[in-house]
Amino acid sequence: MPPDKEEFARRVTLLARYLSTKGLDTALIRYPLNIFYFTGAFIDGHLVITQKAETFLLVYRTLGRPDLKPFGKVIPFRSFKKLPDFLSELGIKIIGLEEDRLPLSQYRRYQKLLSAFELGDLGEIIKKIRAIKSPYEINCLKKAAEKLSDAIWNFLPRLKPGQSELEAAGLLEAELRKRGYPAFTRTYGFGQELAYGHLLSGKSGVIPAYVTTGQGGQGVYGFPQGPSEKKIKANELILIDYAGWHEGYMIDQSRLFYFGEIPEKAVEIYAKVLLLLNELENFLRPGTSVRELYETAFNKAKELGISDYFMAHGPEKVPFVGHGVGLEIDEWPPIASLDIPLEENMVIALEPKCHVPEIGLVGIEDTYWITKDGAERLTSFPRKLINLESISMT
């Protein structure tokens, strides 16, 4: 079930408090996903939230959807030019905009239109609000993990050597579709286009993507990452790095499978990666700096003798070991060399992975809920390497 009005009221009230502390009279929200977060509706228009927690949804189109019952007062608003008058009537003088979400041309348009007002940045505030999850959001993430696990178990008997990565991915994605996945994985970063996830086999797992991800894949012409026409073979690792989905919330998980036998080196490296992840889990508590997590991961990789492969190989190394998870697969905070403390009710994914040129990708990813007592793992699929010959359909 979608969140109740109390959930939206909590979010709006929290934003209103932030506005007050930052000296902003109102939030003027344009990004559809942020509008959805505060109202429960996707609309083309503007969301205005004041210091008094007054909530106005200025809708350009459309009011005709039967499911459009958002939180806040809905106002048909077809004229962009009337926005200054509307804000002036509310006594607004200082406006917060989402600087991280608005294209430069659009931001300049607001600067010109709202020249009578002082403009400030709202982006950092919303990132921090969304990073702290409510019980409703945690429940959504748990259900997303359950759906992902169930979909993979139902898919695995249909996975066969000789299938292309794309064909196999389609079979898995059909199972996810049956469980409500809309086939779109939302991301924060510029140009970060993703479908459901990555199903990669053997050395294709270490082909770098054009964006900063834990792995890449060959992809297809015009979409240079993810599964390709490469045939899946026996005696090579198969990575399934997919998101689960429930009511807009996504969980992130990676697991490894194989047919036949895999090199002993792959087994040894996987054991070390799992040991490294177990070490990181001890640091998942409120107050820990993400920098400490990041540096611990790389120091442990060096201690285990896998630093040459850790988080990609050679010049392709990526500057993180994890990220926040929620309405987007890569929310705040990044687990990188930054002085950001973990807080209670953050949800983060850790993805220690090794890119071994002669083998492929060897790694794992799990998603965790940060509680006052430590971390609770939300992803539920078994962590062991699974030989698919033991579960394949005859």
pLDDT for the residue numbered 67:
65
Rounded Cα–Cα distance for residues 311 and 387 (Å): 25
pLDDT for the residue numbered 394:
35
pLDDT digits 0-9 by tens, 227-241: 999 999 999 999 999
Q: What is the DSSP letter of 381?
A: S
Q: Do 92 and 26 meet the contact criterion of CB atoms below 8 Å apart?
A: yes
How many helical (H) and strand (E) elements, i.e. helices and strands, does the chain have?
9, 17
pLDDT for the residue numbered 325:
97
pLDDT for the residue numbered 64:
66
Give the dihedral of Cα atoms 101, 103, 107, 113; nearest 10 deg. Answer: -120
Instruction: Collect all residues with Cβ–Cβ distance below 8 Å to 223 and sequence separation of at least 6.
Output: 193
Q: Do 327 and 33 meet the contact criterion of CB atoms below 8 Å apart?
A: yes
Where does the chain have alpha helices with state H? 5-22, 32-39, 83-89, 104-113, 123-131, 135-155, 165-178, 264-281, 290-304
In the chain, CATH 3.90.230.10 covers: 132-390
Q: What is the DSSP letter of 260?
A: S
- All residue ranges of the chain with pLDDT < 50 are 393-394
In the chain, CATH 3.40.350.10 covers: 5-130
Q: What is the DSSP letter of 289?
A: B
Question: Any idea how long the chain is?
Answer: 394
Three-class SS of residue 302?
helix
What pTM did the predictor assign? 0.95
pLDDT for the residue numbered 192:
74
Q: Do 176 and 151 meet the contact criterion of CB atoms below 8 Å apart?
A: yes
Closest by Cα among 177, 175, 182, 180 to 159: 175
Into which CATH architecture does domain 5-130 fall?
3-Layer(aba) Sandwich (3.40)
CATH of domain 132-390: 3.90.230.10
**Cα dist. 16→19, 48, 102 in Å?**
5, 11, 21
What's the N-to-C CA distance of the chain in angstroms? Answer: 39
By CB neighbour count within 10 A (0-12 exposed, 13-18 middle, 19+ buried), where does 80 fall?
middle
